[in-house]
Structure 1
Amino acid sequence: MTGKNQRLGRLFGLATLAFSVAATGVAHAQSESEGPGETLSGEVARAYEAGVEALRTRNFEGAIEQFDKVLDDEKDHPEANYFMGMAYAYLSDDKRAERHFGRAVKARESFVEAREWLAVVQVRRGDRKDAEDQLAAIRALRASCTADTCDDAYEARATRAIEKVTATLDAAN
């Protein structure tokens, strides 16, 4: 990827990252059926909440420290991996960001936000084919939605993810 495209992708990604943490918070990343309180307890749940708060206040190193505690106990926790990936992405550590977004997707294949960020980081790393694969997966998730399987909020998030990944890929051309 050229320097100009790297800067465009990074600026687009960082702006969206800041917006997604500030505007949507924890609920944006959670499944419809359970939140962190239902899957985490005690110190691990407190570390998770502290990590989310650190992201909200743009303390990315602090977020990494807190999500490390969560992932030491629950290494496959999709939201903790997603938020850890966001912290690394904001710090421009795309290799680690990609690893955590990938773990989030592996833990929950329908996690469109994790797929979206995985694709953005893959574009930034010059991995267009893998990013296109993530875009195809998000499109398939969106296409498989019915009134019984997806609520309006999930469909809207999937649509936004498709738009963002498409724009990121277009900017990298």
Structure 2
Amino acid sequence: MHRNSERRISRALGALAAAVFGAAALLYAPAILAAPSGGSSLPSTTPQRQVDPAASYREGLEALEREDYRTAEKKFGEVLSVLPKNPEANYHMGLAKIGRGKTKSSVRYFERAIRERPSYTEARERLALVQIELGEPDEAREQLDAMKAQLEACGAGDECGAGRRARLEEAIARVEAALAGGEQAARGMASRPAGLFAQPRAAGAERYRDAVRLINEAEYEAAIADLYAAQAIVGPHPDILNYLGFAHRKLARFDEARRYYAQALAIDPDHLGANEYLGELYLELGDTQKARAQLARLDALCPFGCAEREDLARLIDRRESDRRARR
């Protein structure tokens, strides 16, 4: 862990709170938290663009809450225009399609959410219910079997956490009941996704803070769960996506890490932390040339120097020194 990381993560937390949750949420940002380098040392702001994915996401959630499905469809469409593979946006777009009576059209959005995040229980449950409603019980049983396999993989201990275990058990029970009750029962369940929308934004700041603490403790799986929860509340934000990339990289899930960094940079190409971490990912993959390209990007973003640039430069130098020593 780098010596200057405490100041940098405090700034990153404050920037996220200010940018996404409003000034009041700064109360949720701790004065000092140790965490890995790569959190923005400058405020993480989204460049001027027609679509702010986090704002559109929140507006979509609010529209779902008041059953304004046309607006919800429009707002999640805006998110997907920037981040077409974002699991939360795809899942909620599926819900908006159901609300508008476009049940068959919802399938591809739930499928994409699951493809991008196989552990997305809500998406698997909703897809199974829709498939039953559409007269496709065999396909629904595939989702049921997948959830049962995930529950079994949790083991008898606390590998998945009590919350995830309970959510899997609930989803399995609902899908089994729908299969027993037939298309009409599934239709009623699929059309009532109550309790999933518009949680207080401060709750998202709290989950983000918890995730950073867990990252600092090297509890990466638990951190990922909290980051997913934060994103489900506030939508795609580059700071959240950056730390999702970091946590997945620490678990050697390099493809997932790359996707999260790409999403962060699609929203904010100048995000210092995501540019640095992407360079670190390339180093871990043995691609020094691409790591140096990220260093050049940071040189352009930090004409007077910044911690992210210095950290990446130091890692590149160390990697090249080690390589020379092995010759």
TM-score by length of 1: 0.73
Give me the whole-angstrom Cα distance separating, in 1, the residues matched to 2:159 and 2:134. 34
Partner of 1:75: 84
Q: 2:164 aligns with which of 145, 154, 161?
A: 154
Partner of 1:90: 99
Map 1:1-173 onto structure 2 (within 5 A): 42=46, 43-146=52-155, 147=157, 149-172=159-182
Q: Provide, for residues 136-173 of structure 1, a one-character-per-residue CA deviation record: whole Å limited to 9, x for no partner.
A: 00111111114453111111110110011111111118
Aligned residues: 133
Task: Give the drift of 1:92.
Answer: 2.4
Q: Which one has the largest radius of gyration?
A: 2
Q: Which has the higher helix share?
A: 1
Q: Provide, for residues 85-141 of structure 1, a one-character-per-residue CA deviation record: whole Å limited to 9, x for no partner.
A: 111122221111111111110010000110000000001111111001000001111
Seq. identity, %:
37
Q: Provide, for residues 36-87 of structure 1, a one-character-per-residue CA deviation record: whole Å limited to 9, x for no partner.
A: xxxxx74111001111111111111111100000001101100111111111
Give me the whole-angstrom Cα distance separating, in 2, the residues matched to 1:148 and 1:164. 23
Give me the whole-angstrom Cα distance separating, in 1, the residues matched to 2:169 and 2:158. 18
- Structure 2: gaps spanning 5 or more residues: 1-44, 47-51, 184-327
Please identify runs of 4+ aligned residues in structure 1 that moved more than 2 A: 146-149
Q: Provide, for residues 4-58 of structure 1, a one-character-per-residue CA deviation record: whole Å limited to 9, x for no partner.
A: xxxxxxxxxxxxxxxxxxxxxxxxxxxxxxxxxxxxx741110011111111111
Give me the whole-angstrom Cα distance separating, in 2, the residues matched to 1:90 and 1:44. 21
Residue 100 of structure 2 aligns with an amino acid whose one-letter code is L
Partner of 1:32: none
- Structure 1: gaps spanning 5 or more residues: 1-40
What CA RMSD, in Å, does the superposition of the two structures yield over aligned residues?
A: 1.4
Give me the whole-angstrom Cα distance separating, in 1, the residues matched to 2:166 and 2:53. 31
Residue 151 of structure 1 aligns with an amino acid whose one-letter code is G
Partner of 1:10: none
Relative contact order: is structure 1 or structure 2 higher (C-alpha 8 Å, sep ≥ 6)?
1
Residue 111 of structure 1 aligns with an amino acid whose one-letter code is Y
